[in-house]
Structure 1
Amino acid sequence: MHLSRFRPRAWAAAVFVAVAGLAGTTLIPSTGAAAAFNAAVEDEGADCPVGSTPATNNSQLPDPFTRLDGTRISTKADWRCRRAEIRELAERTVYGQKPEKPSSVTGTVTSSRITVNVSHNGRSSSFSAGVQLPSGSGPHPAVIVLGGFGADTAAITSAGAAVISYDPLAVGQEGTSRSNKQGAFYSIYGSNSSTGLLMAWSWGVSRIIDVIESSGGNILKADATGVTGCSRYGKGAFVAGAFDQRIALTMPIESGTAGAPILRGVAQESGAQPLSSAYGEQPWLGDAFNSYTGNPAGLPVDTHQIVGMIAPRGLFIMENPHVDWLGARSGSVAALGGAEVYKALGAQANISYWSDVSDGTHCASRSEWRSPLQQSIRAFLLDSGSPPAVFRISSSKAGNLSQWRNWTTPTLPDGGTTGTSTTGTNTTGNTTTGTTGNTTTGTTGTTTTGTTGDTTTGTTGNTTTGTTGNTTDGPGDTCTATYRTVNSWQGGFQGEVTVSNNGGSAMSGWTVSMTLASGQSINNLWSGQNTGTSGSITVRNAPWNGNVPASGSVTFGFVAGGNSSPAPAITGCTS
């Protein structure tokens, strides 16, 4: 483990519930105040010990909730150190190490420019970034835009956030050999550093935030920063958001292989950029990844866990299904897998994904993304309104998470470890209390995101709808199934069914009966196994989610063709 990372940590916002753990104080969000979910420090779990890298040969996605010692986390407080394990393994095998904050970071912030000066161990380097302020008086939140293309900067500024134009190539140049890397990062840590460009770019983002924090906050807010970029810079934005917990909103665009898409998936997805190509095209990935280009099953991590590292902070992943090279099917699996971490932390509304776009031009500014992008900025950077909480998966590139995992998503209470006391309100509005030595009691069912009538605008007629109230109880009301339309568009929609156990003992399996209206047909279904695609169909549990504890619930989802109205009817739920 990196002993040099051990230092005190703290969270920024008072809307968190303190949970006293053995390793320190972890804070868990107690309300839906999305903008306060970022931390006050770059790496909140730096004091967590991490063991050696395990040898593995797992063709499925690793379990985000199982520690290196084989035990599973059981409370939200446990995620802090589990996240630290994922971070460390990702550094060792995928990206290379991101050093902690250098001994000296200084600079200036003006209305048009940020300068960054770094000194560490007798070496120094510097770089700068442009600033474009929105209208109105400051201080302003800001979105750091990597690379200068593909990001809708007009939408960002009109939403009320500044744009920081950051050239990552000043920090880590492309076109260099792995033994002679160049740029501000490598001037400090050596041209033969095993850290890849994506992590170097991430380090540069963190140093910009350092300067904003020390500037006094008169122009830019230190605690309201987002990051975005497209293509290779989407890869960089994804890594930056995962490895700096001060970033409140991460928005990678069309990031492709080495970005959001699962590495195990792109290795099998027809037309997607191969791992060896992504490793060899530029030194984006760490040198150690060379061992895994032909063996992704040997990786102890995958990108669904990197998505999980961003939780519970804001995340909006944008992908292009029209360019096979970008691996959007594997991207949807990463988003769906990472969303399970958000769900376990009670923050499912804070992740959004959108690949259902009509324009296939790489890194185009798309009208479909503008509204959820601005809604995300308002929610996470301006603390105004609710996040979009939308999954719009293109039917042509819809991945199936159930094919990639053999693990279940735990229901994590707010309580900490032994000797912990928690008092607060969870995301469903249920009050949870505990006394010393007790875990949190109360309802621990999962959270369904969206409220009746929430609307996401994009192209004409795109609508996100909340719960429809379509519920059917099974015999003795033990098994209950509830349907909701997550979102809809011209010629298709996405649905979700929550299966709840209302009995006094665990269900060992479940089957839901549904009737689809004329013209409706399921194109892709995840977290369940369906018989039939139109008319009367049945959906039974996947091998990993049939065991539903008393008062617990699981969900399955699907993308279907046809009009969303009338909604599919739930006709039965049996266990």
Structure 2
Amino acid sequence: MTTSSGRPRIHPLIVMLVAGTLTVAGATTLLPVTAPAEAAVLAAGVEDEGAGCAVPALPEAGALPSITKLPDPFLRLNGTRITSATDWQCRRAEIKKLAEKFVYGEKPAKPASVSGTVSSSSISVNVAHNGKSSSFSARVELPSGTGPFPAVVVLGGFGADTAAIKAAGAAVINYDPYAVGKEGTPRNNKQGAFYSIYGASSSTGLLMAWAWGVSRIIDVIEQSNGSILKADATGVTGCSRFGKGAFVTGAFDQRIALTMPIESGSAGAPIFRGIPGEGAQSLSSAYGEQPWLGDAFGTFTGSPARLPVDTHETVAMVAPRGLFVMDNPHIANLGPKSASVAALGGAEVYRALGAGSNITYWSDVTDGTHCASRAEWRTPLQQHIQKYLLGTGNAAGTMRISSRAAGNLAEWRDWPTPVLGSTPPPASSGPPPSSGPPPASGGCVATVSVNAWTGGFVATVQVTAGAAGTSAWTVGLTLPSGATITGIWNANRTGTSGAVQFTNVTHNGRLGGGQATEFGFQATGSSGGLTPTCSST
């Protein structure tokens, strides 16, 4: 299917949904990934695929309850949970609207007129909307060889290693975010190309303004003749404040095939709810330092638990496209523990969509210098470019979480991860059917997948009912010597080490024949070989 301009509606490169690899501080574990009926598309053909979704009225800030756990990314605003991959598009649209209203400010749709030029050395952008106009430009560096080339937009000239990017075969677009949204301005007098169009008192923060600027660059590339840069193979990267910008840019434009934020800190990847307890830059400091976040976020700096959205859902907005989050465990002010929780939480959406191999979080680095050029990242950086921008690689995503700053997802999660198929099950049919092992003739079957790192692991257990169904179930397993459970969700537990039993909670004990549910736990120590048993009544 093509648009009126002839551009493919979806990225032609399709990733095979194979088992992902999760490696944290040296330990490697194969992760079973359940694939939905459709393969995971790496990039969309439009900026916002969910623009046509009917999003219910959003709550007002004064009516928001305090929720200490991370919001359930699979829970719709109407209180029902999504059950199919096709549901995700409109659930993502809800998350987008929540994030715009309470965190970043609104990202306007494409302006009435966007024009410009693409050359081997620069891109010019001219925007006109509602009688107002603005313009800005970006510098282009081409790799060796013959184009057209994919390209990585580098915010502020401060992101992933540009030499490695070009050596991998991608162009570099050096984008100055300050031309679109200047720092050092008061919130009621914001300056730059974005605010020339939408007003100096716009409530939209700089991060979203910067994201808008990258989207307009992509518009111009799409309109060019395609001889220099490819219109459907764009990545984005940045470090520190520009890492915040890269994170938001990739989340809010689905044409971006690869998002690579680096050491983004508060207002970037770290979960807002975790920042106060980690000793990272406080939310009030991040909000006040620069108008990065939207004006509405000011009411949440002292009460992030009232936010109806958090950054694990910003991570999820990138799914199933490529995401490579690079972090620094040596600087607590950057909130690396909270960032690892955001990555692990968002990875659950990737896994549910059958795209678990498309996300990488890497904080296992030795050099503690902020925004250093790190040898550990060079090879995976080039592998990501090959996979998502060139279509010549298939390296699986990894989770290399440093033991210096490993967050505990179990402390923040009380929701299960569904297996999302291509179509929803019949109404009132209970939990979605399992696409794992065939159901037993009676009783139940339990299977386990593990995300492991040096010193800890997360285990997800799927319980599948036999033909007769269940009214209650019990799962038993024996943990390796030295392993201790530190947190659990969607099950009751007896014991924390050795032989442990798990039983259903109220909402997930009754399963129809062949139906499945999940629970999970996080533990310290080695995962070893976990062999669960299952019994039911």
Q: Mark yes or no: TM-score above 0.5.
A: yes
Contact kept? 1:395, 1:524, Cα under 8 Å = no
- Paired residues for 1:330-479 under 5 Å: 330-415=338-423, 444-445=434-435, 478-479=444-445
The one-letter code matched in structure 2 to 1:401 is L
Mean Cα deviation higher: 96-105 or 522-531: 522-531
- Asked if 1:84 is matched to 2:84, the reply is no
Q: Is the 8 A contact 2:124 2:135 kept in 1?
A: yes
| Secondary structure at the counterpart of residue 99 of structure 1 | coil
Aligned to 2:345, what secondary structure does the other structure show? helix
Q: State how 1:184-333 maps to structure 2 within 5 Å.
A: 184-267=193-276, 269-333=277-341
Question: For residue 480 of structure 2, what is the aligned residue in structure 1?
Answer: 516
1:498-509 matches, within 5 Å, as 498-501=461-464, 503-504=466-467, 505-506=469-470, 508-509=472-473
Counterpart Cα distance in 1 of 2:506 and 2:99: 26
Q: CA deviation at 1:50?
A: 2.0
Amino acid across the alignment from 1:249: L
Quote how far apart the aligned CAs of 1:82 are: 1.3
Separation (CA, whole Å) in 1 of partners of 2:363 and 2:503: 26
User: Relative to structure 1, is the Cα distance of residues 515 and 302 closer, same or farther in structure 2, using a 3 angstrom cutoff?
Assistant: closer
Matches within 5 A, 1:32-43: 32=39, 36-43=41-48
- The alignment yields a C-alpha RMSD, in angstroms, of 3.3
Deviation readout 1:389-448 (Å, 9 max, x if unpaired): 211122232222222222222222201699xxxxxxxxxxxxxxxxxx9x9x9974369x
C-alpha separation between the residues in 2 aligned to 1:548 and 1:157? 55
Q: For residues 162-187 of structure 1, give each alpha carbon's deviation from its aligned partner in whole angstroms, at most 9, with x where no partner exists.
A: 11111111110101111111111111
Contact 1:510 1:546 in 2 (8 A): no
Read off the aligned partner of 2:158 and give its amino acid letter: F
| 1:241-274 superposed Cα distances (whole Å, 9 cap, x missing partner) | 111111111111111111111111113x231111
Confirm or deny: 8 A CA contact 2:13 2:391 kept in the other structure: no
Distance 1:229 1:10, change over 3 A: same
Q: How many residues align?
A: 498
Report how far residue 557 of structure 1 moved. 6.9
Q: 1:166 aligned to 2:175?
A: yes
Q: Secondary structure at the match of 1:242?
A: helix
> Offset of 1:13 from its aligned partner?
4.1
- Deviation (angstroms), 1:305: 1.2
> In the aligned structure 1, how far is the partner of 2:167 from the partner of 2:291?
36
Relative to structure 1, the CA distance from residue 285 to residue 572 in structure 2 (aligned partners, 3 Å threshold; closer, same or farther) is: closer
Alignment of 1:93-132 (within 5 A): 93-132=102-141
- Deviation, 1:382, is 1.2
Deviations 1:260-290 (A, max 9, x none): 11111113x2311111111000000011111
Amino acid at match of 2:207: L
1:12 alignment partner in structure 2: 10
Q: Give distance in 1, aligned partners of 2:43 and 2:510.
A: 32
Q: Deviations over 1:538-559 (max 9, x none)?
A: 4747969965954536474767
Q: Is the 8 A contact 2:119 2:228 kept in 1?
A: yes
Q: Distance in 1 between matches of 2:138 and 2:484?
A: 47
Counterpart contact for 1:406–1:544, Cα < 8 Å: no
Aligned partners of 1:497 and 1:76: how far apart in 2?
Answer: 20
Residue identity matched to 1:314: G
**Equivalences for residues 550-569 of structure 1 within 5 A:** 550=514, 552=516, 554=518, 556=520, 568-569=528-529
* Partner Cα distance (2:219, 2:371) in 1: 29
Query: What residue number does 1:467 align with?
Result: none
Residues 263 and 345 (structure 1), Cα distance of their counterparts in 2 relative to 1, 3 Å cut: same
Equivalent AA in structure 2 for residue 479 of structure 1? V
In structure 1, distance between residues paired with 2:268 and 2:110: 24
Deviation per CA, 1:64-118: give whole Å up to 9, x if none: 1222122222221111111111111111111111111111111111111111111
Q: TM-score, normalised by structure 2?
A: 0.83
Q: How does 1:487-502 map to 2 (within 5 A)?
A: 496=459, 498-501=461-464
The aligned residue for residue 51 of structure 2 is 46
Question: Displacement of 1:522 after TM fit?
Answer: 6.2
Task: Measure, in 1, the Cα distance between the counterparts of 2:296 and 2:381.
Answer: 35
Q: Aligned equivalents of 1:400 and 1:543: distance in 2?
A: 22
Alpha-carbon shift at residue 532 of structure 1 (Å): 5.1
State the one-letter code of the partner of 1:127: F
* 1:506–1:113 Cα change, 3 Å: farther
Structure 2: distance between partners of 1:412 and 1:343: 9
Which 10-residue stretch deviates more, 235-244 or 126-135? Answer: 126-135
Q: What SS does structure 2 have at the residue aligned with 1:414?
A: coil
**2:312 partner amino acid:** H
Output aligned runs, 1:512-551, within 5 Å. 512-516=476-480, 531=495, 536=498, 538=500, 540=502, 547=509, 550=514
SS in 2 for 1:228: strand
CA distance in 2, matches of 1:540, 1:60: 21
- Paired with 2:415 and 2:472, the residues of 1 have a C-alpha distance of 15
Equivalent pair of 1:197/1:283 in contact (CA under 8 Å): yes
C-alpha distance in structure 2 between counterparts of 1:507 and 1:351, whole Å: 36
What SS class does the counterpart of residue 62 from structure 1 fall into?
Answer: coil
Identity of counterpart residues, as a percentage? Answer: 57
Q: Aligned to 1:263, what secondary structure does the other structure show?
A: coil
| Distance in 1, Cα, partners of 2:341 & 2:371 | 21
Aligned equivalents of 1:95, 1:315: Cα separation in 2: 20
Q: Which runs of 5+ in 1 are unaligned?
A: 1-8, 17-27, 419-436, 448-472
CA displacement at 1:560 relative to structure 2: 5.8
Report the Cα distance in structure 2 between the residues aligned to 1:323 and 1:56, rounded to whole angstroms: 33
| Residue identity matched to 1:358 | T
Distance of 1:168 and 1:239 partners within structure 2: 13
SS across alignment from 1:136: coil
Q: Is the 8 A contact 2:418 2:517 kept in 1?
A: no
Contact kept? 1:292, 1:299, Cα under 8 Å? yes
For residue 530 of structure 2, what is the amino acid of its counterpart?
A: I
Write the distance in 1 (CA, Å) between the matches of 2:279 and 2:259.
27
Deviations 1:334-377 (A, max 9, x none): 11111121122221111111122222111112222222222211
**Structure 2 stretches lacking a partner, 5+ long:** 1-6, 15-34
TM-score by length of 1: 0.78
In structure 1, distance between residues paired with 2:170 and 2:519: 36
Q: Which has the higher contact order (CA 8 A, sep 6+)?
A: 2
Aligned partner of 1:513: which letter? L
Shift of 1:561: 5.9
The answer to which of 407-416 and 108-117 deviates more is 407-416
CA distance in 1 between counterparts of 2:376 and 2:311 reads 25
Gap change, CA 1:241 and 1:120, over 3 Å in 2 = same
Task: For 1:112 and 1:530, locate their aligned partners in 2 and report how far apart those are by CA, in whole Å.
Answer: 64
Q: What code does the residue aligned with 1:322 have?
A: H
Q: 1:181 aligns with which of 186, 190, 207?
A: 190
d(CA) in 2 for partners of 1:227, 1:238: 8
